Structure 1
């Protein structure tokens, strides 16, 4: 007769304070031909990167995401030129600087600048994930204890552990709307970022 076992999944969460902001910036440029469109988008994103560096962002915190070019048509379906776009990922390590950086970039290239995303994040998730995993295992142990008692048994040795997803979950993030008449332009409030983890654990059941 094989061993009696119980397998349960536990979940845990940890609240951590965001310490970085991830910006996805995009520059678009319209032109009659592909070469001019690409050149214009490249010049624009280069200007944005220069301004961002002037605001104290390190080279390691800048990353080109992608580039594209598409044909444009007017409302009658006639081809009128091309639109090229380039995207730049920026990691801002001073939350209070976000508004200043966006304002400076907009001043450099005007309406060609588009902001695809402003996201609060954590530069090092290791401590938060450790806390979430501890909570997940505790949750699994509590469930297993209950099932063991209902079965007239006790928990024995752990026979297997498998981690599930460990990721940020929604809630607790606050991003104030753009207000050009306010100092800083786009104030960002850190709030809390919640990390979650799950674990599936198998215990041997022993005689109570």
Structure 2
């Protein structure tokens, strides 16, 4: 007789307190030719990187994401020059300095500075993910025990485990992680970051 089994999926979450801010900053420059556009964008990016370092961000937390250059056209479709852009990823570990960095960069670079992303994150997710996985497995076991009882059986050995994923869900408002960033007027509401995990488990029925 074939062995009886039950397979269920479980989901779990764990709240963690963000301790870093991930910035994605972009500098663009318009010029009549490609070379001048690239030079302008590079000069702006050099100033941006210098400002970031002046506010205590280490080299390990600064990374160039990409660089692009493309042609520009006017409203009639006539080529009028080129635009070069460079993007920088910055991890800020002193949350109260985020506003200072953005204000200083805007003052130095002006409208050539674009802020693509300001995202709160956790530098080390391992503990939160462990707790999310524990919760997901417990959720799966609770379901499996119910199904086993409905079948007049008990759970036996675990025959298989497959993780469907462990991902951040987003922010849940809670405590204030940092004061209002005075220069930029942009408060950072830390809240809690929810980490989610899901798992599929197969048990033997006996």
- Asked whether the two chains share a fold, i.e. TM above 0.5, the reply is yes
1:91-170 aligned within 5 A: 91-170=91-170
Q: What is the aligned residue count?
A: 201
Aligned to 2:24: 24
Q: Which runs of 5+ in 2 are unaligned?
A: 175-179
| Alpha-carbon contact 1:69-1:83 (below 8 Å) kept | yes
Alignment of 1:156-195 (within 5 A): 156-172=156-172, 183-185=182-184, 186-195=186-195
CA–CA separation in structure 2 for the residues paired with 1:152 and 1:52:
64
Q: Distance in 1 between matches of 2:144 and 2:188?
A: 42
Secondary structure of 1:56's counterpart equals: coil
Would the alpha carbon gap of residues 106 and 126 (structure 1) be closer, same or farther in structure 2, given more than 3 Å must change? same
CA distance in 1 between counterparts of 2:3 and 2:51 reads: 65
What's the counterpart of residue 2 of structure 1? 2
Aligned equivalents of 1:157 and 1:57: distance in 2?
50
* Deviation for aligned residue 1:57: 0.2
Residue 111 of structure 1 and its aligned partner are, at CA, apart by 1.1
Extract unaligned runs of 5+ from structure 1.
Answer: 175-179
Equivalence for 1:69? 69
Question: Does the 8 Å CA contact 1:28/1:86 hold for their aligned counterparts?
Answer: yes
Contact 2:171 2:191 in 1 (8 A): no
Contact 1:17 1:193 in 2 (8 A): yes
Contact 1:23 1:91 in 2 (8 A): yes
C-alpha displacement of 1:173 = 5.6
User: Runs ≥4 in structure 1, deviation > 6 angstroms?
Assistant: none
Contact 1:163 1:198 in 2 (8 A): yes
TM-score between both structures, scaled by the size of structure 2: 0.94
Match of 2:196 in 1: 196
Q: What's the offset of the Cα at 1:171?
A: 3.6
CA separation in 2, counterparts of 1:37 and 1:18? Answer: 38
Question: Residues 7 and 201 of structure 1 are in contact (CA less than 8 Å); yes or no, is this contact kept in structure 2?
Answer: yes
Cα shift readout 1:170-189 (whole Å, capped 9, x = no counterpart): 34269xxxxx9x72422212
